[in-house]
Amino acid sequence: MARSFFARNALIIAVLIASPSLFAQEYDLLLKGGHVIDSKNNIDSVLDVAIKDGLIAKVAANISAESAVKTISLNGNYVTPGLIDIHTHSWVDQPHMLEHGVFPDDFTFRNGITTVVDAGSSGWRTFPEFKEHIIDHAKTRVLAMLNIVGSGMIGGTAEQNLSDMEAEPTAAMVLKYPDLIVGIKSAHFNGPEWLPYEQSVKAGTIAHVPVMIDYGARRIERPLSELLERVLRPGDIYTHMYSGHRGEQDSQTGGPGKGMREGRARGVIFDVGNGSGSFSWAVAVPLVKAGFLPDSISTDLHVHSMNNDMKDLLNVGDKFLALGIPLREVVADMTWHPAREIQRPQLGNLSVGSPADVAVLSVQHGDFGFQDMYNTIYVGHDRMICSLTVKGGKVVYDLDGITGDAWDSPPSSASRQAKRWTTLTSERGFGTARPTHQNKAVQH
């Protein structure tokens, strides 16, 4: 008497079999046919990247285009983890320090960047305010290094105030916000004392985070070699490595000084931090030729550097392509290497289960002049362009509109499910639906 399951459900089954797409859309977004560079996983080849629920779901050859709500064909492009810039200044409208920081979203997605580290705008007294004003509002992932100065980077005498450089409250603030604070920063100190660096390292030791040093004024009382050979720990970061301001270069050979070499041998990390006055070809060329390459490439973006010899992160990366460093290394210096330096192993890679932060880059060929702080030029022949950026599984930037529908065609099924794969939906502005194009209404 019991009718079979199949007999009762024959019509439903027939419909499902006739509609394979109902089964097929396993993924939200598929980046197809790009050349994937993922240093953590040692990938440097053409592969497809599938994304679901904001995470990397699969990286493999020939993932079916039908398996995703939206498939983007990326032949001829490079697909990399979302870029990480570990030296930026993000606190726009900072009290007592106006016209310094740049709001993160202004320079990030259009450059393939999905994560920035604010390097010391706030100290332990001001971090909650920085979080409230910037971190909580940016679409970019904003992490922070706390300034060892309690009042933060507000210029003038405040940054020289030794009595406001205290390891314990700084470490306590790091431990209060472990998801957001990734290190300690010392910057712009002019005095002869070691205290700012010793307190930074002490705070970093208590809170288990690295310190980043902008070594301020050059002082014979605290030579660079001693900082790199004695004070800093393995994993601590020396930024502005090619400035030449503090004895980075050996005066005899032109290559890296003894302190730089010994520091690297001990495990100190060397970061670019181009900025407006911290990158000199006369230093970078001989150091790179001597094999002293960066561990990470960063901008030191602020309002005074953003239109200077430093344009943006890709422009700084281009300088190292010009110096002959392979693209896969330059990408590593903007992805997996900085992720490791700030102890965020879930970032800067395309492992299955990692946040789906992705940059799509193309490389333009020509004759390009790259500037340094003295407006001297090094000519290179490659320029990276960001075509597309994905953050948390959704397209957040699309330079040439490769993800959209033609304006005069009916909405695609992908656009009807836009919330699964893009922030560039029709449901912005006043929430109105896309008007339907009607040929007969067009006046000629």
List interacting residues with Zn ion (CB under 5 A): 300
Q: Looking at beta carbons only, is 124 or 215 nearer to Zn ion?
A: 215
Q: At closest approach, how far in Å is the CB of 423 from Zn ion?
A: 30
Q: Looking at beta carbons only, is 300 or 398 nearer to Zn ion?
A: 300
Q: At closest approach, how far in Å is the CB of 296 from Zn ion?
A: 14
Pairing of strands 211-213, 113-123: unpaired
Cα distance between residue 93 and residue 113, in whole Å: 22
Q: At closest approach, how far in Å is the CB of 91 from Zn ion?
A: 12
Q: Looking at beta carbons only, is 271 or 398 nearer to Zn ion?
A: 271
Cα distance between residue 336 and residue 389, in whole Å: 17
300 phi-psi bin (left φ>0, alpha ψ -120 to 50, beta other): left
Q: At closest approach, how far in Å is the CB of 69 from Zn ion?
A: 41
Q: At closest approach, how far in Å is the CB of 214 from Zn ion?
A: 6
Q: At closest approach, how far in Å is the CB of 274 from Zn ion?
A: 10
Q: At closest approach, how far in Å is the CB of 224 from Zn ion?
A: 18
Q: At closest approach, how far in Å is the CB of 298 from Zn ion?
A: 9
Which one-letter amino acid corresponds to residue 344? R
Residue 390's SS3 state is strand
Residue 47, both tokens: 């592969």
Order across the sheet with 211-213: list the strands: 83-88, 113-123, 141-147, 181-186, 211-213, 237-238, 269-270
117-153 burial: b if 16+ Cβ within 10 Å, else e: bbbbbbbbbbbeebbebbbeebebbbbbbbbbbbbbb
Cα distance between residue 427 and residue 286, in whole Å: 53
Residue 231, both tokens: 């004070």
Q: Which residue has the tokens 């726009």?
A: 92
For Zn ion, which residue has the nearest CB?
A: 300
Beta bridge partners of 44: 37
Kindly give, in sequence order, each residue whose CB lies less than 8 Å from that of residue 62, ignoring residues fewer than 6 positions away. Answer: 48
Cα distance between residue 293 and residue 287, in whole Å: 7
Which one-letter amino acid corresponds to residue 68? A
Q: At closest approach, how far in Å is the CB of 191 from Zn ion?
A: 19
Q: Looking at beta carbons only, is 112 or 277 nearer to Zn ion?
A: 277
Q: Looking at beta carbons only, is 229 or 300 nearer to Zn ion?
A: 300
